[in-house]
Chain A
């Protein structure tokens, strides 16, 4: 039981490049979330999903897209990376019987 896993752990991109971050959970949870964490700013919600095939915008969605084609996976895409997207990205999940969210180990992204 791995819980929440994120791929990759680290990535360096050049401005304008694209990439996809993968979050996978084996907890059979309905809800999934993507956050970014920047120094002094805490965790800010980018996008979230309340179920397979559904997504919604969070606090800071600009420049990102998401997809939830399977219940266990939540993908975060950057179509044209910018230096302002340098951050640590966390995926989280929770289910109907929980209030707390369970977090993955994070992906450190640097955009040059």
Chain B
């Protein structure tokens, strides 16, 4: 069974204080690891897909990295508008995933104070 664990559950930062969010996963053959951002009262918004260990992707102040067991979302010099819940999900290969399903973690709620 695929599992995704995110830590910490909540993270409070001061504006400009860099940090990282962790996503640990177990999956029977990783097809892709996904990061989403979710603002209160809204649906998840796609950020990144990572496919293989060692891969990195960047978008503004966010940088996602991937190893064989975990992914990190690094936030450099965050601003208050980066406050949101960040969700990690994995997608497995194989016949059991003919529907391209995702398994989500519980999310990390990030709060950036000015």
Contact = CB atoms under 8 A, between A and B. Distances in A.
Contacts, number: 58
Interface in A62-112: 90, 92, 94, 99-106
Given A40-B106, A41-B106, A42-B106, A106 B42 contact: yes
A101 B49 CA distance: 11
B114 interface: no
A61 B91 CA distance: 19
Contacts of B42: 105-106
A97 to B, nearest CB: 11
A90 B41 CA distance: 11
Interface of A: 4, 31, 33, 40-45, 48-50, 56, 58, 90, 92, 94, 99-106
Interface of B: 4, 9, 31-32, 34, 36, 41-46, 49, 87, 89, 91, 98-102, 104-107
Given A42-B107, A43-B87, A56-B99, 8 more contacts: A31-B100, A33-B101, A41-B106, A42-B104, A99-B31, A101-B100, A103-B43, A106-B42
